[in-house]
Structure 1
Amino acid sequence: MPPSDSVPRMALIGAMQEELSAVLALMPDASCQTVAGRQFWQGHLHGHAVVAVLSGIGKVAAAITATVLIEKFQVNRILFTGVAGGLASHVKVGDVVVGKELLQHDMNASPLFPPYEVPLLGRARFQTDDVMTQCLIESAALALPHAQVHTGLIISGDQFVSSASESQRLQSHIPDALAVEMEGAALAQVCHAYGIPMAVVRTLSDRADDDAHTDFVQFVKAVASPFSAAIVSAFLKRLPTT
């Protein structure tokens, strides 16, 4: 059964099991429902009604997950946590990036539309929610006092960027991009269509270069997963429940 419309629900999305496992461990009352091949865990965390789910990897997977969350579970806010590759010269592995804007770096319908612009929407960049994003910045700094927290543009595409040449190409074409991943901009487009506030936080697992694949899974388990749990906990403690 779908949840009651009267209860505000926060969605917590991760792209990989390792990214979300620590968050699920904080929800002992969670019950599971499978929809569209995904397990949606409904429970409570720090006074919030929460639906937690793995999106799967890639833009289509993220868009499907966001649509189900909005249509079936009637969530009114969405938070995406996970990992990304660093692009900007001043970001490093282990840093945290909070997205203010998201863009699909592999969207190119030129010459019909400008590069990166989503056809018929007249925009390439999608903004995150100001209130959620500011709360996320403060929560990341509080939860992880020894980590550097950056804020700005995160770009998304259906490829794991793992070569210095591709990283340099992206930096050259989109110089203000801080990090690259595979889901956030698709999620942002769905939330834009529905008018749903959203926020994105990413821990940098690599520099999106020739060494990007090295110990990736181990990093997610040892660093990104506990980082996500710490940030989410601090975020929900600070964010109003309505």
Structure 2
Amino acid sequence: MTTIAIVSALHEELAAVLDLMPDEQQQVVGGRTFWRGHLQGHDVVAVLSGIGKVAAATTAAVLIERFGVQRIVFTGVAGGLAPGVNVGDVVVARHFLQHDMDASPIFPRHEVPGYGRSRFDADAMLTAQLVRASEQVMRELPSRLGAEVMRAFGLEAPRCHQGLLISGDRFVSTTAESLALRDALPDALAVEMEGAAFAQVCHDYGVPLAVVRTISDRADDAAHVDFPRFLREVASRYSGAVIDALLAQR
């Protein structure tokens, strides 16, 4: 049976997934706690990635080498960059890029040395399944979150976007940084800190990867002020519901 890794960057998101696993057992490797169990009839390993690209790459390698996972699904939050990518939307990645990779002038800006490329692809089939799951959850949001939460965060008609997700080892939270990224990478939908690292490791090992990110803010000076509440009442519920819907597909 295929073993699937479910990865989150933050505890609240992973907790929503663990609540769906009736028989998880803990195992500590490399200072990380991994939960092995079952969800919707699948063998599952759940883990926190850690924050940033190095922690993410280490986690990805351990999942593949130690636990033998054959597919990896990552769920987390991100800052919206592209126009129309709003708080409460989700972005399902089709491609990944490290926005802070710059070995110029030896290599072109953003190109990963030794690979001849700057962009790594998500797995097409797994990503298509993740899109279907995400769109299903988007349609069910009013009943899942309730009118009060929808109003509190201005979630009128959340959408599922697909495209480029960019990663870097800094938290983007100013308008100046956001505009600079949009200027350099105009097709980038959202920015976070782990996805591109997972994508590079999964490329090396030939392991399918799919990533969904909930937009928590616009990565600018108006970044959301009540992030803990958003994480607890919106993002974590998204994560649990999307993973459940994904693994329920046959």
The two structures have a TM-score, normalised by structure 2, of 0.92
* Deviation, structure 1 residue 19: 1.5
Aligned match of 1:227: 238
- The runs of 4+ residues in structure 1 deviating greater than 2 Å are none
CA distance in 1, matches of 2:8, 2:81: 21
Alignment length (residue pairs): 233
Per-residue Cα deviation, 1:172-199 (whole angstroms, up to 9, x for no partner): 0000000000000000000000000000
5+ residue gaps, structure 1: 1-6
Q: Which residue type is aligned with residue 197 of structure 2?
A: A
Q: Which residue type is aligned with residue 133 of structure 2?
A: S
Aligned match of 2:170: 159
Q: Aligned to 2:27, which of 18, 27, 33? A: 33
RMSD: 0.9
Q: Structure 1 residue 173 and structure 2 residue 167: aligned?
A: no
Q: Aligned to 2:193, which of 156, 169, 182? A: 182
Per-residue Cα deviation, 1:56-84 (whole angstroms, up to 9, x for no partner): 11000100000000000000000000000
5+ residue gaps, structure 2: 142-157
Q: Structure 1 residue 208 and structure 2 residue 219: aligned?
A: yes
CA distance in 1, matches of 2:228, 2:203: 31
The two structures have a TM-score, normalised by structure 1, of 0.95
Q: Which residue type is aligned with residue 248 of structure 2?
A: K
Aligned match of 2:208: 197
Q: Equivalent residues in 2 for 1:24-103 (5 A)?
A: 24-103=18-97
Per-residue Cα deviation, 1:78-123 (whole angstroms, up to 9, x for no partner): 0000000000011100001000000000000000001100001001
Check whether the contact 2:216–2:224 (CA below 8 A) recurs between aligned residues: no
Q: Which residue type is aligned with residue 216 of structure 2?
A: S
Check whether the contact 1:102–1:156 (CA below 8 A) recurs between aligned residues: yes
Q: Which residue type is aligned with residue 111 of structure 2?
A: E
Aligned match of 1:125: 119
